[in-house]
A and B are shown apart, each in its own frame.
Chain A
Amino acid sequence: MATKVLDITNEHCPMTFVKTKIELSKLQPGDILEVLLAEGEPLDNVPRNAKEQGYNVLSVEHVEGTTHKVTIKK
């Protein structure tokens, strides 16, 4: 089981979802993806979309400032 970190704090729509989706597709079942993202659109939608696509969103934590960490299990 591997854990990968993806930083999309500097990305904008649609690359926030696109990069998350591409990284998730590369993982093996059981692997973890930690996504660092900004408040607003990415924070509102990345966890929701991951859930909708059948992934397990383990946690959403505040890191610092406007940065949050979403932990997703494939």
Chain B
Amino acid sequence: MAETKKLSIIAFSGDFDKLTAVFTLGTGAAAVGYEVNIFFTFWGLDAIKKKHGRSFTGGNWLTKIFGFMMGGLKVTPTSRFNFLGAGPRIFRGLMRKNNVATLEELVDAAKVLGINFYACEMAMHVLGLKKEDFIPEVKDVLGVASFLKLSDGGETLFI
């Protein structure tokens, strides 16, 4: 077997389409033998929240409102053609119709493939999020130095 290759993705965006790109690249790479790390930060944290809908997660009244407005995986908006929230539903329908994996299916595949999920400590602090607010597959809460160490020697993408 060849030496293990590595792909590390910084998932910054909380947009449905960009998260689809994160998980498509991640699962594809993991399936062809790459070690894959995804570092979720800022809006990207929406993808790993335990609650997929909208909920008042957060520390104080302001972050609770932010938490509600940001929501989870199910309510991520598209970066274009969002049509006041109808966009993701339209794209999910198109993906299903064309036998292309939906975002939820890709996230499930990422878990099965053992992709390493990490959450950004600083963004969590700003948004009042705790590790308990995330799905149990989130391996650790990290800062920049730890992420750089993890991604060293591989390829890194910022999405």
Contact = CB atoms under 8 A, between A and B. Distances in A.
A31 interface: no
Given A21-B113, A22-B112, A14 B31 contact: yes
A32 to B, nearest CB: 19
A12 B33 contact: no
Given A18-B113, A21-B113, A52 B32 contact: yes
Contacts of A65: none
Given A18-B27, A20-B31, A21-B31, A54 B1 contact: yes
B109 A22 contact: yes
Given A14-B27, A15-B109, A18-B113, A53 B99 contact: no
Nearest to B29: A14
Nearest to B112: A22
B27 A11 contact: no
A25 B2 CA distance: 17
B112 A17 contact: no
Contact of B32 (A12, A15, A49): A49
Contact of A53 (B1, B27, B28, B112): B1
Interface in B82-123: 98-101, 105-106, 109, 112-113
Interface in A1-45: 10-15, 17-18, 20-22, 45
> Could you say which interface size class chain B belongs to?
10 to 19
B99 A18 contact: no
Interface in B21-35: 24-25, 27-28, 30-33
A17 B28 contact: yes
A13 B24 contact: yes
Contact of B28 (A11, A13, A22, A54): A13
B32 to A, nearest CB: 5
Name the residue among A10, A12, A21 with the largest chain B CB count within 10 angstroms: A21
B102 to A, nearest CB: 10
- Counting from the closest, the 7 A-B pairs by CB-CB distance are A14-B28, A17-B31, A21-B31, A54-B1, A18-B31, A49-B32, A15-B101
Interface of B: 1-2, 24-25, 27-28, 30-33, 98-101, 105-106, 109, 112-113
